[in-house]
Amino acid sequence: MNEIVTAPVPRRQGEAQRVARAAYPFRCCVVCGLQIPTCLTVAHLDHAAGNNDPDNLAYLCQTHHWMYDAGLYPLEAIKMLRAHWQQTQGKASHAARMKDAGPRAAATRKRRAAARKAWAARRQSTDEGPTVD
């Protein structure tokens, strides 16, 4: 028999955890942002358990780890999200939605003032009652 026997690649999960922790200090699932430490796994993006290069690792929750392994997320998307979570540190920015908040609030104040004035005018005319000659 000419069978080539290769030794299984050691998984070295402890090393993967240490490398990921050092490379990605903000720990969350890069897809959904879940931050519960016991729910996070370290995914090997090339599916090679022995490759613990920081670029090959990403934190994923169990669900998204399974979905990544099933080919439902592209590698580039995971890497992009991983970098984005590290940059934002999980803090939301509402700047894009609030860019015209000042003028909108001013328009609302103006509309409400006009409505209050109209209501006061109607109330005053009904309080006076119908005029009798």
> Where on the chain is the footprint of Zn ion (CB under 5 A)?
29, 31-32, 34, 61, 64
Closest approach of Cβ 63 to Zn ion, in Å? 6
Looking up tokens 């099933």 gives 70
Closest approach of Cβ 61 to Zn ion, in Å? 3
Closest approach of Cβ 42 to Zn ion, in Å? 13
CA 45 to each of CA 74, 81, 109, 133: distance values in angstroms, whole numbers, following the listed order: 10, 13, 53, 90
Nearer to Zn ion among residue 32 and residue 115 (C-beta): 32
Looking up tokens 């699932």 gives 29
Nearer to Zn ion among residue 16 and residue 28 (C-beta): 28
* Residue 30: how many other CB atoms lie within 10 Å: 27
